[in-house]
Amino acid sequence: MINLNLILSEMQLSRAALARLAGVSAATVTLLLNHGHWPRTPDVTHRMRQRITEVLNQHGVAPERVATAFEACAEQRANWTPHAAQLTEANASSPSPQANFYQPKDDDMLPPKSRITTEALDHFALERDPFTNEMRGVADVFINDNIRKVRGAVRNVAEYGGMLAVIAESGAGKSTVRKDLAHWIKTSNRSVIVIEPYVIGMEDDRRKGRPLVAEDIVRAIMRRLSPSTPVSQSQQKRMDQMHELLRASAATGNHHVLVIEEAHRLATPTLRHMKTFYELDDGFTSLLGILLIGQTELDWKLGDNNFEVREVTQRLEKRFIDPLDNDVEAYLRHKLERVGGRYDQVFAPDAAEAMVARLRVVKETRLKGHRTLGPRSQCYPLAINNLVSGAINLAHQGGEDLVTAKLLDQVGRED
């Protein structure tokens, strides 16, 4: 056992948290802590040591202890167990406000959009680009345990009502969630009517665009259920019309779900009105499920500290699309198999771990009720696709047989 085990226990920092902050997998940290095993690639080992040292310094660990963190323990505390440092994910996602996180650097920028060249596709015997316009059907969707749970929650609110917010970073696959819902409704013959107000140009500030208001939602419901019904000029009568249309549709066996994408752009008054739509019913029958899909700002707007929307947050379930840190290799295997490729014929053994490390960026994040500045994983499909596409092109240009950690680190920094 190395001294780092005891330091983590004293810091009350879990292994999972250290892995995220250091930009490596949880398995890599476990091997280090339990057996003193470092990654076999010297570059990855150096980067891992450097980042763990930064984390310890940022959390105020004494310099003399940081200097010996990777050395074997002279003695073990009698009451120490390998589980002592494993705390909740909540602790991991809310670093101390006093932590002195380093400031963003140019190297923290995500790789730019890339398309794999025809020559690079031929070089790796790929039938087509697996990362551009690749979502052609439900079989193209990568599913892990997190996505499976998010998908289940979305389908549940569509069929049985309730209010759900699906929250994730840009490029995480939020639109895919909506498309998956539409596919599921169609292929399983569910009696679910999806209502989607237009959100093009929607902003929460009139100086930037036009806010979506409750009246827009009322009209969207009426337009979807009965396009030919004249809309009353009286606000009260319009509400009565909408409610009656929902009742009549439900009486025929239909369920209804209101889906709002880009929901992080909703103004606070509109969010507050979601309670009124949520409470539309016919006796014990809920008439309208609500699905809000948005970026991490939506979590902040719907936070427990926002008293303006507390009646909504008390009735709302949140689901988060997590980064693919522990599923990068599985994701890429899935993508390559869809175009007749094989992971082991494209990527070196050190590639997946290097991707996770490269896609750690320093940024301010508002997530799960906390506002933090520090290393965050951007290991989402869009960022992975861009990084891998650039690396495949570099491998072809350099005559390399496989994409390596070194090539991945060069993407976007060739100049």
Per-residue pLDDT tens digits for 201-257 = 788 878 788 889 999 999 999 999 999 989 888 989 999 999 999 999 999 999 999
pLDDT at residue 239, rounded to an integer: 93
pLDDT at residue 40, rounded to an integer: 67
Residue 299 contacts residue 167 (beta carbons within 8 Å): yes
The pair of three-digit structure tokens given for residue 46, joined into one six-digit string: 């150096």
Residue 351 contacts residue 403 (beta carbons within 8 Å): yes
pLDDT at residue 33, rounded to an integer: 84
Distance CA 160, CA 369 (A): 27
Range 396-402 contact pairs with CB under 8 angstroms and sequence separation of 24 or more: 396/117, 396/119, 396/120, 396/123, 396/124, 402/345, 402/346, 402/347, 402/348, 402/351
Percentage above 70 pLDDT, the chain? 86
Q: What is the value of pTM for the model shown?
A: 0.70
Give Cα 236 distance to the centre of its chain.
Answer: 40
pLDDT at residue 121, rounded to an integer: 94
CA distances to 28, 71, 317 from 36, rounded to whole Å, are 10, 9, 41
pLDDT confidence of 184, banded at 50, 70, 90?
A: very high
Q: E strands, 299-390, where?
A: 317-320, 360-367, 370-377
Tens digit of each residue's pLDDT (9 = 90 or more) over 119-129: 999 999 999 99
Residue 98 contacts residue 59 (beta carbons within 8 Å): no
Distance CA 80, CA 5 (A): 9
Tens digit of each residue's pLDDT (9 = 90 or more) over 48-92: 898 899 889 888 899 889 999 998 876 544 444 443 333 333 333
pLDDT confidence of 110, banded at 50, 70, 90?
A: low
pLDDT at 107 over 50: no
pLDDT at residue 109, rounded to an integer: 55
Residue 344 contacts residue 193 (beta carbons within 8 Å): no
pLDDT at 158 over 90: yes
CA distances to 168, 194, 230, 381, 414 from 294, rounded to whole Å, are 7, 17, 32, 16, 34
pLDDT at residue 363, rounded to an integer: 60
pLDDT at residue 74, rounded to an integer: 64
Residue closest to 333 by CA, chosen among 325, 343, 323, 341:
343
Residue 147 contacts residue 173 (beta carbons within 8 Å): yes
pLDDT at residue 200, rounded to an integer: 80
Distance CA 158, CA 164 (A): 10
pLDDT at residue 210, rounded to an integer: 85
- Classify residue 257 by its DSSP letter: E
Q: What is the mean pLDDT of the chain?
A: 84
264, amino acid identity: H
Query: What three-state secondary structure class fits 88?
Result: coil
- Residue-range domains of the chain with CATH: 3-92 (1.10.260), 106-136+324-410 (no CATH), 145-320 (3.40.50.300)
Distance CA 252, CA 232 (A): 24
pLDDT at 36 over 80: no
pLDDT confidence of 94, banded at 50, 70, 90?
A: very low
Strand partners, 72: 2
The pair of three-digit structure tokens given for residue 186, joined into one six-digit string: 């169609």
pLDDT at residue 148, rounded to an integer: 95
pLDDT confidence of 183, banded at 50, 70, 90?
A: very high
